[in-house]
A = this chain, B = another copy of it.
Amino acid sequence: MRSRTPPNPADGPHLAPGAEFDLIRRFLPRHAHARPDVRVGAGDDCAVVAGDGIALSCDMSVEGVHFRRDWLSLKEIGCRATAAALSDLAAVAARPVGILVSLALPEADAGMHAVQVMEGARRAAESAGGVLLGGDVTRAPAHLAIDVTAVGEAPHPVLRSGAAMGDEVWVTGELGAAGLFVEQMLAGAEPDAAARKRYAGPEPRLREARWLAERGFPTAMIDLSDGLAGDAAHLSAASGVAVLLAPELIPIHPAVLRHAASAEDALRLALAGGEDYELCFTAALGALEPFAHEFQREFGIRLTCVGRAGGGDGVWWTDAEGNRTPLGLQGYQHFREER
């Protein structure tokens, strides 16, 4: 016998009193989002989402490894971690539904610091059309860590494995600026403002990926988190093709061209600097070229054919005669001392 009206879940989540839950309440939306793809929003034991294929990826960022507090504001830390996770949705051409955020932070950060990190995460999700679906907040002994799970709808995901020999290899945007910022900061140099912007606020290419996928262009796709050299190697391995890159075609970010010590150094940053969060994809020979201008008009970023898929495996430099030479560099690897 239900003798009174329970709290309306559409008014937002209801948690018990307590310092931890006061903190969580500050993150959560006041009013549940009325959208058909979120059946249960944040505040219960699980969120429940619906769609024709739910794409999922997680991305952990750790203080002292992925970011430093003297390089970024707390909001930027949350925003950047979220952008990195959303970039994986872009890589399969998914439409964002939302994010789950797990945050481990030292006791001293429990108050406003946590709110600021979560605010950055929430804003990055919302600017991509997603909502905060849930999360976990806990104590950490020393270093802040944030793990973002990106959730999207992908009825027709573009995989890494679809490239065929003869396909063209394309990249969005311009490469190397985030890596340049890291090197400038480590060297104690005054960082380039444009490079800082690319590092602190990467823009996952979500709309761009869907534009391309809706037109059927990408045969295989990956996002550039570790650098073109390393990430193209995954696409190569998954598709069973070699990726042949033409050095003169690589779209190097202007900040890199301004500051790099040499042309070789600029190429190194563009291929192995990492954290660009652009897309690399393959498309059938000649298919995309007629539409590249339309893409650039629509999104205001470059779209560049950087090479071809060929027989064999691995990622190589190639010249006009088709001769292959080793790249001589690799993407960022977490368990080697490269930085």
Contact = CB atoms under 8 A, between A and B. Distances in A.
Contacts of A18: 230, 233, 330, 333
Q: How large is the interface on A (under 10, 10 to 19, 20 to 34, 35 or more residues)?
A: 35 or more
A300 interface: no
Nearest to A39: B53
A168 to B, nearest CB: 13
A65 interface: yes
A334 to B, nearest CB: 5
Interface in A6-20: 6-7, 9, 13-20
A285 to B, nearest CB: 8
Contact of A5 (B1, B135, B230, B240): B240
A28 interface: no
B143 A334 contact: no
Given A46-B89, A104-B145, A334-B138, A163 B6 contact: yes
Given A2-B165, A45-B91, A162-B6, A136 B145 contact: no
Given A6-B241, A166-B1, A335 B19 contact: yes
A58 B7 contact: no
A250 to B, nearest CB: 19
B238 A44 contact: yes
A145 B149 CA distance: 15
A135 B154 CA distance: 18
Nearest to A4: B165
A133 B58 CA distance: 10
A131 interface: no
Given A140-B145, A335-B107, A53 B58 contact: no
A236 B6 CA distance: 10
Given A39-B53, A88-B45, A335 B157 contact: no
A15 B234 contact: yes
30 contacts: A1-B164, A1-B166, A2-B165, A4-B165, A4-B311, A6-B161, A6-B163, A6-B240, A9-B159, A15-B238, A20-B333, A21-B234, A39-B157, A40-B92, A45-B89, A45-B91, A45-B221, A45-B222, A46-B56, A46-B57, A48-B154, A57-B134, A60-B103, A62-B141, A62-B145, A66-B138, A110-B335, A137-B334, A140-B143, A147-B147
Interface in A225-269: 230, 233-234, 236-241
A139 interface: yes
Nearest to A337: B107
B161 A44 contact: yes
| Contact residues of A: prevailing secondary structure | mixed
Nearest to A37: B54
A223 interface: yes
A97 to B, nearest CB: 9
A186 to B, nearest CB: 16
B56 A336 contact: no
A222 B16 CA distance: 13
- Can you list the 6 inter-chain pairs with the closest CB atoms, starting with the nearest? A16-B233, A45-B91, A60-B102, A147-B147, A46-B55, A2-B164
A104 B46 contact: no
B14 A237 contact: yes
A100 interface: yes
